[in-house]
Structures are given as C-alpha cells and as structure tokens.
Amino acid sequence: MAPPATLVRSARHLWQCQWRLLMGGLGPADGQGRYRRPAGAFTSLPPLPEDAAEAGSHVLIVGRSCPWAHRAWLTWTLRGLAASIDTVVVVPDPDAGRWRFSEAFEGCSTLIALYRRCGADPGARATVPALYSRRKREILVNESARLIELLNAWPAAPGAPDLAPPDDLPAISTWRERLQGEVNDGVYRCGFARNQAAYDEAEAALFTALEDVEASFAAQGESGGGWLCGGSSPSLADVVLFPTLIRMELVYAPLFGCSRRPLWQLPRLWEWRRRFHALDGVAGTCFPTAWRRDYFGALFPLHPSAIVPAGPDLATLVGSPSPAAPAAPHR
C-alpha cells in the first residue's frame, strides 16, 4: 500500500530542508541559487623560489579525485618537475569531510592541520592542490590557476614544453578565463544548483562553451596543431580543460546532470581528449575508480545512498576515435 499523501508531502518537505542545509556546507550559493566557489587560503602568485631547482625542495600536495589538483599534477608531469618537486597524495575522509595524509607529513595527519600550522585563517577551507616549501615550512600557493602558472615557470626538464609561450598568451588567457567559469566551475554549478533556473543557466553555458571549443578545432582545419590555441604542443588552456572532460562520462554526466550531449557527438573534442591522454605521463594522473568512489561515495547531499554505479571503462573513452552517430530511424 502506498503511503498517505500527507506523509509523502511531509517527508519531501523535511528532506528538502535538510538538503538545503547540507548543500550550504558542501557548496555555498548566491541568492538566486547559483553555486559560488569559496575563496581559498593561499591565493596570491608568489615569485619563483630561489631554491626552485634544488632536489626535493618543494612538495606538491594533490588528491586523486580533485580536478583542480589534477591540473597542477598535469603541469608538474608535462614539465618534468619530479627532480625538484616531490608529490604527496592526500586521501578523502568522507566522515570528517576533509583530506588526510596516508602518513604524517610535517607532523600533520590532516591537510587542515597543515593549513593551520602555516597560518591559514581559521575559517578557510583546506583544499588541494597546494605547493609546500620544505625550507620555509609553509604553503606557497593553493590556488590552482596561479599554481599552474608558477609550475610552468619552474626550471623544467630538458625538452619540456612551455605551456604558455608568449605569442599564444592572449589566446591562452581568453580560453582559460572562459573555461574556468563555464566548464571547470560550470559542471559544479550544474551539480550544486539550488533550483531549476540556476541549473538551466549553468548547463546551457557549459554546453555552449564545449560546442565553441569544437567549432574552434574545426576552424583550425588541417593547418592547426590540434591543440586549443593552435600550437604544436598543449598549453595551459588544454591543461585546464582536460581534468573536466576526462571525468565527464564517469562522474559529471550521471551525478551532476551534465548529460545534454555525449562527448562523442563532438568528435574533434573527443579526439583532442584521446590525444591529450596519450601524452607521456598523463595516464598516470588518471584514477577513474577513485574518481567514482569519491564523488558518488562522498557527496552525500547529491547521492545519499553512496552506491557507486557502474560506468564506462576509461579505455573505451580514450582509446579509439569517436563512434559514428547513429543513423536516423526509418519512418
């Protein structure tokens, strides 16, 4: 027997009240229900450290499931910075809602403890990525957009690409600004929207941006380099786009509602993602099992059951050309 209508209405109202309360802690919103990413703790771009080239002088702290950390990890990988910057991977603690170290780091068992020891404001969130100086015993920067610029200026391995060549800086800056708001933050604005209007606005901007990237690749034609700004190697614009698109079918489409168009319907973008994944070292920064476990298992307000659904194998998304569009049905 179905429950009484009054019970259904009461339960729905109670759950919506609890959902809004929980969402306030997960992702704050403005008065119109649009998600607004909170400010970080160490956001200014520092000068290049004097000991930048010294082996093990710095530590890049990352998390496998965080796309913002992923862009820093990719920059570290493509620039070949392992000789001077070590990496430490933190893991999520869903029950406490924070990142923790698998082994104590600088005397700290959690990332929030390290942030507090480095002088972060008591109300600031402890997020990844973060670049830590062993000599100064402090976090230099944790804003990913600034951190990847610093890593690109870091003394790199011989033959490593410059991800921000001077001639391409205007195009790189334009794409980065747009991708940050409409794609990187855009998927979260879809998933963390408080109402239909906020979701519709974010979702439309997201897919308009992706369609414009597809059109940009088409405009390059055969003479283009195959990267977002047309060069012969990827730029920081490509770096910031990849972490979002590699998670699209695995996380953002099913969990955040970013499912208007499957990526294979944008064949040039699909091919770009496949080629980026094939770059040396990139596959080693991708952890699809951790992504799905951490998103579906930890974002309780969005997925209360914590059941991790089956998803596509990453190899099917990056190992072949995009599938042909299905033929129109006969009438």
Domain 58-153 identical in fold to domain 166-318: no
Q: Do 23 and 192 form a contact (C-beta atoms < 8 A)?
A: yes
303-316 per-position pLDDT tens digit: 888 899 999 999 99
Which are the contacts of 192, defined by CB distance < 8 A and separation ≥ 6?
23, 26, 27, 29, 35, 302
Q: How many residues appear in the chain? A: 331
* Residue 121 pLDDT: 84
* Residue 89 pLDDT: 98
Q: Which long-range contacts (CB under 8 A, 24 or more apart) does 107-112 make?
A: 111/61
What residue ranges of the chain have pLDDT lower than 70?
1-2, 7-8, 10-26, 223, 322-331
* Residue 328 pLDDT: 40
Nearest to 239 by CA among 276, 205, 208: 276
Nearest to 187 by CA among 260, 286, 270: 260
> CA geometry: angle at 14 spanning 13 and 19, to 5°?
95
* Residue 15 pLDDT: 54
Which are the contacts of 242, defined by CB distance < 8 A and separation ≥ 6?
70, 71, 74, 273, 276, 277, 282
* Residue 272 pLDDT: 97
Distances in Å between the Cα of 300 and the Cα atoms of 13, 188, 239, 287 are 18, 15, 29, 21
| CA separation for the pair 155, 84 (Å, rounded) | 8
248 class by beta-carbon count within 10 Å (0-12 exposed, 13-18 middle, 19+ buried) = buried
Q: Do 101 and 59 form a contact (C-beta atoms < 8 A)?
A: no
Which position has the token pair 């400010």? 39
What is the CB neighbour count within 10 angstroms for residue 132?
23
**E strand or H helix at 114, and its extent?**
helix 111-117
* Residue 25 pLDDT: 61
* Residue 20 pLDDT: 65
Nearest to 144 by CA among 124, 129, 131, 132: 129
CATH of domain 166-318: 1.20.1050.10
| CA separation for the pair 161, 172 (Å, rounded) | 15
Nearest to 23 by CA among 254, 207, 199, 286: 199
Could you tell me the residue ranges of all domains in the chain? Answer: 58-153, 166-318
Candidate CATH numbers 3.40.30.10, 2.90.10.10, 3.20.19.10, 3.10.20.740; the one for domain 58-153: 3.40.30.10
